[in-house]
Structure 1
Amino acid sequence: MGESLSTLRVGIVGAGAISGQYSRTLQRLPHLPVVAVADLDPARAQALSDGHPKSRVVTVDELLAADDVDVVLNLTVPAVHGQIALAALAAGKHVYGEKPLALTVDEGRKVLRAAADAGRSVGCAPDTVLGTGIQTARSVLDAGTIGTPVAATAFMTTPGHERWHPDPEFLYRPGGGPLLDMGPYYLTSLVHLLGPVATVTGVSSRPAPERVIGSGPRAGTVFGVEVDTHVTGILTHVSGAVSTLMISFDVWAARLPRIEVYGSGGSVSVPDPNRFDGEVSVFTAETPSWQEVAPTAGYVDGGRGIGLDDLVRSAAGEHRVSGALALHVLDVMETLLAAAGEGRALPVATPGVRPEAMAGLLPDW
């Protein structure tokens, strides 16, 4: 490592599909050793534990009570994110979890209050915003390369995760849907790039009442859809910039940018916020053609779990994927769905913050 870091011993709750990506990252971070794994399926827990020789398989209660667990990595389904976080904080643990922070804003507020009362830190995915893609784009904006940012677009379209996910039902239940599943990548990036959101308005729809699992042992299984699967929103940032957002599980193909930011003197093309890297390109009045920008900031070759590393590195201050940021993003999403239902613009109650930018490249994590 490039600097001396404190050690936080990690207990993982949830050994589902995403846990493998976290596991590979944590194997590269010796100051974040995995010591315990819990899952409803003991076989899955054992498979994850096997990648961390010093870890053991335990129950959730045993993990929360363990003296050698400093931070709980919460990789459960969205419906219990808040429940597990609250239990971990009550047990005196720090918490880092998958998105969203909780099922509702009210529950998210309880998580942050519990963290404050316990004197513990809460972090939340997505940490893709710490990769070279978003951080390089941010450095372009902060340098004034395109002047004052005035607008942005953000598009995520797919026909649905049930085509590839073996157990996709949770994605179509409360806490899921394209906005709560994929929206955090785009909205967290927009807050990093343009700052917090003040008001939102939008529309949403649910074209198909049922979906069919397309792969795995349950292929062909039909299940019901309980949430809207196509969401379009207009976000007014505190800075005055206006973002247009479209997140959908109902689009088979589209030629749309992932994220673009438009300024008074040019534009920035931002790579897929579900990845840690990708090409950043700039178009300016002085150079009226798209020019690729070499990476200037962020974790090089980042992977899911580097948010835990940022939590450790930022121990003296607010980390860049904090619970407060995740609560603001959850509030934006919840308010957007409410605005779509009411057919009017609504204010976002949480103040939000624009996290500190990364000062340069981190190649030695």
Structure 2
Amino acid sequence: MGDPHGIAIVGLGVISRAYLETIGRHPGIRIVAVADLDVSRAQAVAAEFGAEALEVAAAVARPGVQTVLNLTIPAAHAQVALTAIAAGRSVYGEKPLTATLDEARQVLDAAADAGVRVGSAPDTVLGTGIQTARAAIDAGRIGRPISATATWYAPGHERWHPNPDFYYQPGGGPLLDMGPYYLTSLVQLLGPVVSVTGAASRTRDSRTIGSGPRAGEVIPVGVETHVTGVLEHEAGALSTITMSFDGVRTVAEPIEVHGELGSLILPDPNGFAGDVRLFRLGDDEWQVLPPSAGFEDGARGVGLLDFVAAAPGEERASGSVALHVLEVMTELLASAKTGTRRPIGSRPERPTLVPLTPAAVWRASS
């Protein structure tokens, strides 16, 4: 058992509570400092976990901090990451890696120059849902993969989120908000993407907040709210993706993968678990596969635990995968504007499979 890994958390909004439930009292983690625009919120979290509430620059530079957990809104991801890297800290952040591809490249280049590491959510892909499907593909249970579909529809986050503005500005939209779960899953399952072709639309230029103290307020829409596209994977498979803030509901499965010998249906990649179903050529019905890989009972923050424990270059929720996913999303939107097929330049290593790891093990490791 080594010393706990020192963490500074920047951004203590809604998602931070999910992380704190996983890492707050984990024996392998020590929360050293926290920072938030809401000083009272930072002070409350600091008191709860024995940390210091500081301004961002002071929090990331606080002695004892080794990694900064960046839970700010997408527009602030790059600035916080670069501040942390300049202080010699590694960074693990929420998705997307940054709001723009240029910022992402700047962050990864700065980290390489500083000799520190970058990781990024989503870590849901490390749960038993996606990892069990990946194990089945790697074992040849569907034969050579041919195609996949990834589908998500909703009428828009303004219906439930009290401050949904950032979902409808650059760095937001259904693709950058929900796409990372699906695209990171597809990279796990089928490997990196080499080209994309996309189309997109925007049904209206404003949205009305439906809950909270701002209910009834009209906010502008500055992004495309329905995006669809085709991805060509390096190994030859074709994936079709649709992400939408304009639909009401769908009966489409979240992710399907089809091969020469069988098909897989995967659970929602915004969660860690769920049934993985297999139908092989010649079968009469779908079979549910028992969990065979992944972190059991996974929770937000398990990717950070994996990140701090991994040797350099072996992080599963890595910055290189996050940059690749951001490039895919960026080029899908560019393709939608130009009407052309767009190449993808980044080629991350496909992360290694997560062995089946009971919750009692990963929750107690350091």
Aligned counterparts, 1:254-265, within 5 A? 254-265=250-261
Decide whether the 8 Å contact of 1:211 with 1:223 is kept in 2: yes
Q: How does 1:182-261 map to 2 (within 5 A)?
A: 182-261=178-257
Residue aligning to 2:304? 308
1:7-46 matched pairs, under 5 angstroms? 7-46=4-43
Is the 8 Å Cα contact of residues 296 and 356 (structure 2) preserved in structure 1? no
Residue number in structure 2 paired with 1:273:
269
Moved over 3 A (4+): none
| CA contact 1:258–1:270 (8 Å) conserved in 2 | yes
Stretch of structure 1 that moved more, 29-38 or 188-197: 29-38
Identify which of 75, 78, 81 aligns with 1:82: 78
Mark the runs of 5 or more structure 1 residues left unpaired by the alignment: none
Determine if contact 1:178/1:230 at 8 Å carries over to the other structure.
yes
> For 2:330, which of 334, 337, 341 is the aligned residue?
334
Distance 1:48 1:290 in 2: 46
Pair 194,5 (structure 1): closer, same or farther in 2 beyond 3 Å: farther
Q: Deviations over 1:66-90 (max 9, x none)?
A: 1121110000010110111011000
Shift of 1:7: 2.7
- Residues 106-149 of structure 1 deviation map (CA, whole Å, 9 limit, x = unaligned): 11111111111111111000000111111111011111011111
Normalised to the residue count of structure 2, the TM-score between the two structures is: 0.96
Partner AA of 1:47 in structure 2: A
Bigger Cα displacement from structure 2, 354-363 vs 208-217: 354-363
Matching of residues 320-331 of structure 1 within 5 Å:
320-331=316-327
State the alpha-carbon separation in 2 of the partners of residues 130 and 278 from structure 1: 13
Q: Distance in 1 between matches of 2:2 and 2:139?
A: 30
CA distance in 1, matches of 2:2, 2:161: 37
After superposition, the CA RMSD in angstroms is 1.2
CA apart distance, 1:28? 4.9
Amino acid at match of 1:175: G
Which residue identity does 2:35 align to in structure 1?
Answer: A
For residues 195 and 182 of structure 2, what CA distance do their matches in structure 1 show? 16
- Cα displacement string for residues 254-274 of structure 1 (whole angstroms, at most 9, x for unaligned residues): 111100000000101111000
Q: Which residue of 1 aligns with 2:52?
A: 56
What is the DSSP-based 3-state SS (H/G/I as helix, E as strand, rest coil) of the residue aligned with 1:358? coil
In structure 2, the gaps of 5 or more residues are none
**Cα offset for 1:316?**
4.8
Sequence identity percentage: 55
Query: Quick check: 4-13 or 154-163, which moved more?
Result: 4-13
Q: Deviations over 1:293-341 (max 9, x none)?
A: 1111111111111111111221254211100000000000000000010
TM-score by length of 1: 0.96
1:226-277 per-position Cα deviation (integer Å, ceiling 9, x unaligned): 0000000100000100000000000111111100000000101111000011
How many equivalent pairs are there? Answer: 361
Q: Whole-Å Cα distance in 1 between the matches of residues 315 and 3 of structure 2?
A: 15
